[in-house]
Amino acid sequence: MRQMQVVKVAVEKTVYHFDKDFDYAVPDSLTGQAVPGCRVLVPFGAGSRLRQGMILSSAEELDSGKKLKYIRAVLDEAPLLSHEMLFLVPWLKQRCFCTLFEAVRLLLPVGLTYQLRRFYTLAPDVRPAEVQRLLPDEQIVVAQLANHAAVERKKLLKCAGLPPDSNVPDRLCEAGILSCTRNPVRRMGDAFKKMVRLCAELPQQFRLTPRQKEVFKVLQDVGCASVKEICYFTGVTPVVIENMEAHGVCETYEQEQYRIPYSKNGIAAGEQTPIHLSPAQETAFTHLYQLSCKGDASAALLYGVTGSGKTSVYLCLIDKALEAGRTALLMVPEISLTPQMVRIFRQRYGKKMAVFHSGLSVGERMDEWKRVRRGEATVVVGTRSAVFAPLDHIGLIVVDEEQESAYQSESSPRYHAKEVAWFRCRYHHALLLLTSATPSVETYYAAKTGKIDLEILPERYGPAQMPEVHVCDMNAELQNGNVSILSRPLLEAVQETLCDGQQAILLLNRRGYHTFVVCPDCGHVMTCPNCSISLTYHAANHRLMCHYCGYSVPMTMECPACHGTHLQYRGSGTQKAEEELKKLLPQARVLRMDADAAMSRYAYEDKLHAFANGKYNLMIGTQMVAKGLDFENVTVVGVLNADGSLYNDDFRSSERTFDLLTQVVGRAGRGRLHGRAYLQTYTPENPVFALAAKQDYPAFYEQELPLRKWMLYPPFADLCVVGFVGSEEARVRGGSSIFLQMLRKLAASEYGKLPLRVLRPSPARIVRMDGRYRYKLLIKCRNSLLFRKMIACLLVAFSKRKDTKGVTAFADINPDSIL
């Protein structure tokens, strides 16, 4: 028997219950090219239609006569995924209940992905008489292909004036008039610039014009330059260079050009300014550096009050990692935090730094990925997706504001960036550093029980002092006739601050103008037709909008239920608050920071830079203004609705509220000026406000922990949420009950030793979203390999049942928010 190369391939567009790594044979012509980490085209299914796949492993086997399909093409010249990333793919499938190729997509930038598109050509030997018998629209299509080798379907239909869903090309293929092939097309091409250099062997005799002599002299001095640069410095046109090339004096060539984000923001790059640590910072840094030098994977929590200088500590650790020839990754939860962090890192590390977040263009994200993969960038800063940056020899991963929900993906694959970071640290024997002024209860519990190391920064850095915090009772304000958005103490504090030339930040975690519209005649609330949620009025475009599915409709003053014309606006969002602030404080230069005001590229950076430079002296915004921002001139902060997140039906409501209040209070008085903070609430007796005012996280933790233990919530148990989604509520509700019955049966038979507490299925907090109904089932469990195996079996069996058709089930272990 002869030897044959067999590869295991993760194939795209497979369903979860049928997904696995599929075996394919490698033809002799592709031997040496089909290696793990490369993408391939493979025939799949009964019809052997071409699909894209990723080679996960390769082996030599004896040709036993087993009928294996052959791969058709290798799409990459070199592997895109390292051994670590290939190891990560099945780990993500097992942890996140996703398909293998869904995991592969996480690891690659969008610009590098291929799409299989249909291309049409005229079939050979098509006779004119056959064309004349065709319908008019068919003749137009044939005419479009008369002078082209192959045309992509979308372009062909557009040129022929046909709709995108037209079946004319398919009819022509069935008639034998056209031929169709499916070819891979990359979503984004590489960027190139045209370069020019002198030829290695110049002609023995050549004469140059005065302008050509200028070009010749520049090329002699610099060796090579772009055509654009030559034209700029010499004042010639490209025609001059073309003539020199025609006479063999110079040659042009294409050179890849990176699309680097933030490259035009004027930041001086690569200045290694010394960092002066306080005694507490020095102690924390020394212990963490010793931990990173052990050679084993380790994890630690750096807990410090707001303004204590946690950033300086991990910058020193990054410096040490780079000195040791290793790489480093810093993750931040929000895009709004990246501009300030990018500025700090670009100043310190220059071109060694790369940035990853969803606000970049497709080309920028792809080029940053390439720079990291090629080793040109050794420090990465980014949001959740940055955890998959193709760094090698990682020495340190920092997760800043580690408690933030933004690190949890809410769509498949439902991964948590902290878990992936820990996987990568174990692979590279690196240090995982979690930092926060308000760590999650689970992380702080792990630190207090010795599972991870704990370092504490108890005081602010330098002369900065903790702000003075006031809790404002809005009930008393109403009784005294104050119906504005600002309590009297907060209004007076802001007025005083602005008069002193200082700045203030106000938090209102609701965007829009009014939060809902109601008819007083019949009580009808204007709601989204796709979601069980009220519509928010936006004054900027005079429309009612849904913040969940994006539905939008022009505002009308007629009630759709009773046709009354007395609709009333209720609730206040950031747009209305901005308008009211301008009336209350005519001297204020107000900046609004929310998702609506920062929709354009680099809007976050531009607006925050303008605030830092004093163009604005009062900033009102959603939670994006609450965390990570460092403005020395901000001396007053205010929370306009501190009750907003306190009374949600989630066991983390108190923790989230304490976190948000503590973080926003921490924006005040971060420099030499004294800071003040004001928390406006209708329930001032709630202990969360007193603890947030004191910035006393340990006391909050001690208060919260017994409740978690009594209710058996994390950190004392893991929580698995099984979600059910479908277009018919009765079927979704029935499907959740069927799943519960399956769980009972399987747990009693094969998995009897698993500790489980199961809560009956119930509607999601927002039961209908984007036209689909949602139910949930909660399982309190231990997140073990055996438990995940049971859930995977249930998901596969559930999807195969006929009585659950139309209902999709998914599982999410320890999600940040319950469905």
pLDDT digits (tens, 9 = 90+) for 484-537: 889 999 999 999 999 999 999 998 888 777 777 888 888 888 888 888 888 888
Res 262: pLDDT: 64
The class (CATH top level) of 468-513+572-708 is alpha beta
Fold assignment, 279-457:
Rossmann fold (3.40.50)
- Could you state, in order of their start, the residue ranges of all structural domains in the chain? 3-108, 116-186, 192-256, 279-457, 468-513+572-708, 718-813
468-513+572-708 has the same fold as 279-457:
yes
* Parallel/antiparallel/unpaired status of strands 634-639 and 503-507: parallel
Q: Is 546 annotated as a binding residue?
A: yes
DSSP string, 406-475: GGB-SSSS--BHHHHHHHHHHHHT-EEEEEESS--HHHHHHHHTTSSEEEEE-S-STT--PPEEEEEEHH
- What does the pLDDT read at residue 99? 95
Topology given in CATH for the domain delimited by 116-186: Arc Repressor Mutant, subunit A (1.10.10)
Question: What are the backbone angles phi and psi of residue 739, rounded to the nearest 5°?
Answer: -60, -40
Does pLDDT of 602 surpass 70?
A: no
Averaged confidence pLDDT in the chain: 88
Please write the tens of the pLDDT for every residue from 675-699: 899 999 999 898 998 898 888 999 9
pLDDT band at 343 (very low <50, low <70, confident <90, very high): confident
- For residue 741, is pLDDT > 70? yes
Q: Which two tokens stand for residue 345?
A: 């890192």
Spatial separation of the C-alpha atoms in residues 730 and 801, rounded to whole Å: 16
**559 assigned binding-site residue:** yes
Beta strands in 480-601 (DSSP E): 503-507, 516-518, 536-538, 543-545, 552-554, 568-570, 590-593
Rounded to whole angstroms, how far apart are CA atoms 56 and 38? 8
Helix H or strand E encompassing 783? none
Whether the per-residue pLDDT at 431 is higher than 90: the answer is yes
Q: What is the pLDDT of residue 9?
A: 96
pLDDT recorded at residue 757: 94
The answer to whether 571 touches 534, Cβ cutoff 8 Å, is: no
Judge whether 199 is annotated as a binding position: no
**Could you say which architecture CATH assigns to the domain 192-256?**
Orthogonal Bundle (1.10)
**pLDDT tens, position by position, 44-83:** 988 888 999 999 999 887 766 678 999 999 999 899 999 9
Output the pLDDT for position 265.
54
Q: Binding residue per annotation — 425?
A: no
Tell me if 250 is assigned to a ligand binding site.
no
Tell me the per-residue pLDDT of 104-140, one tens digit each, with 9 for 90 and over: 999 998 888 888 888 998 888 888 888 888 888 888 8
- The topology (CATH level 3) of 718-813 is Alpha-Beta Plaits (3.30.70)
Q: Which long-range contacts (CB under 8 A, 24 or more apart) does 72-75 make?
A: 72/40, 72/41, 72/42, 72/43, 73/30, 73/40, 73/41, 73/184, 74/30, 74/33, 74/34, 74/38, 74/39, 74/40, 75/38, 75/39, 75/40, 75/41, 75/114, 75/184
Q: 3-108 maps to which CATH number?
A: 3.40.1440.60
For residue 672, the number of C-alpha atoms closer than 13 Å in the C-beta half-sphere is 0
Position 535 scores a pLDDT of 85
Q: pLDDT tens digit string along 389-408?
A: 999 999 999 999 999 988 99
Query: What strand order describes the sheet that includes 807-813?
Result: 757-769, 772-781, 718-726, 807-813
Residue 316 known to bind ligand: no
Task: Quote the CA–CA distance of 454 and 466 in Å, as a whole number.
Answer: 22
Ligand-binding site membership of 293 (annotated) = no
pLDDT in tens, 130-164: 888 888 888 888 888 887 778 888 888 988 889 98
For residue 109, give the nearest of 365, 324, 303 by alpha carbon: 365
State yes or no: 528 annotated in a binding site: yes
Tokens 């005419």 locate to 143
CA distance 406 to 337: 12
Please check whether residue 139 is in contact with residue 162, taking contact to mean a CB–CB distance below 8 angstroms: no
- Residues 177-218 have pLDDT tens digits of 898 888 888 777 778 889 999 998 888 888 889 899 999 999
